[in-house]
Structures are given as C-alpha cells and as structure tokens.
C-alpha cells in the first residue's frame, strides 16, 4: 500500500490569507525538526510544494531520503485578490462573498483565486500521479494547511466544512494509507 506522510511546513508567522505568497518558514526549532526527521520512514521519498516555506522544511527533514522534484500542484489555496490580506479586510471589501467562502466552501472563489473544489482537484491529480509512480512506497509530502485537509476530506469522506474544522499545526504529520477504504492515522501528530 502507498502511504502519504503529510507534513505541514514550518511556521511563517504571517497574518492573513497566505496562499501563493512565497514566504520563508521559521525553522529555528532544530530539535523538533530532528524529531520529525527521525519519526518519518527512512525508506520514503520526499516531495514538497514549490513554495519556499515547504521546500526549506523538506530540506530540513529529508535526511538520506531521495528527493523528488518540487510539485507546484501541492501549493496552498490561491486566494487571488485576497492574497496576504487579513480576513477582516476581506470581510469589509467583499462581505457577502467572504461569508459564502467560509460558510459554504466548495465552489465559492475569491476574485482571481480558486475554490475549495478547484484546490482539491489540483491536489488530487498530483497525489494520484505520485501514488502511481511510487506505488507501494512511503511518500513524505511537505505541503500546506488546506492541501493536507483536502486529503483528510477525501480519506474520511467529509464535507469541505467538516474538513476545515480539523486542526493541522505547523510541522505536524498526518498519515494517510491509500486503498479502499483509505486508512488515516493520527491527524496533527506532533513528533
């Protein structure tokens, strides 16, 4: 069985809707990064989003594991015109759309951005290709909050609202073994 070990990148300390904005991660907690590196399967391959915060986190936990090319489809949700803005500002500028975006995630898109369904389809295509290319292997995938939640949603057959209610901390691990039905390990495991 193919198992994904989803790791959320290190913290950025940014406030606001940070999707495709390319911010660095704070990777100063080297002890925690070492515990995380040691917790992950040694025979895994490592892949990350192409955003700096994910790439640097993957570099920090890779160890001797083989590294795959960065995968742009594992980027965080694209917030379009809302990118990097505090949600309070978004609510003032687009009150009805902002409310719909949070209360009914699915097809609602920020101006120039993508919906939850767009994100889930993008991520799912990447996951399916990675799983096919590395069938039966462990895959450490360093990605982002919403990216990981799309996979939790798929594995647990949740609605977008239910998935968004899950907690995914920075530098946490969510293990999902693909199959029918998929098996999900602890969500938000902090090594």
* Ramachandran quadrant class, 188 (left: phi over 0; alpha: psi -120 to 50; beta: rest): left
CA distance 168 to 97: 25
Percentage of the chain with pLDDT > 90? 92
Residue 181: predicted pLDDT: 78
pLDDT at residue 184 tops 90: no
Check if the beta carbon of residue 39 is closer than 8 Å to that of residue 191: yes
pLDDT tens for residues 63-114?
999 999 999 999 999 999 999 999 999 999 999 999 999 999 999 999 999 9
Which CATH architecture best describes the domain 3-184?
Answer: 3-Layer(aba) Sandwich (3.40)
Residue 182: predicted pLDDT: 79
The DSSP secondary-structure symbol of 134 reads T
Q: How does residue 115 score in pLDDT terms, banded at 50, 70 and 90?
A: very high
Give me the helices (H) in 94-179, please. Answer: 95-103, 116-133, 145-156, 160-164
Q: How does residue 183 score in pLDDT terms, banded at 50, 70 and 90?
A: confident
Residue 188: predicted pLDDT: 74
């Amino acid at each position: 069985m193919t198992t994904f070990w989803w790791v959320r990148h290190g913290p950025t300390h940014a406030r606001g809707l940070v999707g495709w904005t390319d911010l660095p991660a704070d990777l100063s907690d080297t002890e925690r990064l070492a515990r995380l590196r040691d917790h992950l399967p040694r025979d895994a391959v490592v892949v990350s989003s192409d955003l700096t915060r994910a790439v640097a986190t993957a570099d920090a936990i890779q160890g001797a594991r083989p590294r795959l090319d960065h995968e742009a489809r594992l980027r965080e949700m694209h917030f379009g015109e809302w990118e990097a803005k505090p949600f309070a500002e978004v609510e003032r500028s687009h009150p009805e759309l902002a409310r719909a975006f949070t209360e009914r995630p699915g097809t609602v898109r920020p101006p120039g951005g993508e919906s939850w369904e767009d994100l889930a389809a993008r991520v799912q295509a990447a996951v399916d290709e990675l799983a096919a290319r590395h069938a039966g292997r462990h895959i450490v995938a360093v990605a982002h909050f919403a990216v990981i939640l799309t996979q939790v949603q798929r594995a647990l057959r949740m609605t977008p609202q239910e998935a968004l209610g899950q907690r995914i901390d920075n530098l946490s691990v969510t293990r999902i073994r693909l199959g029918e039905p998929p098996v999900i390990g602890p969500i938000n495991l902090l090594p």
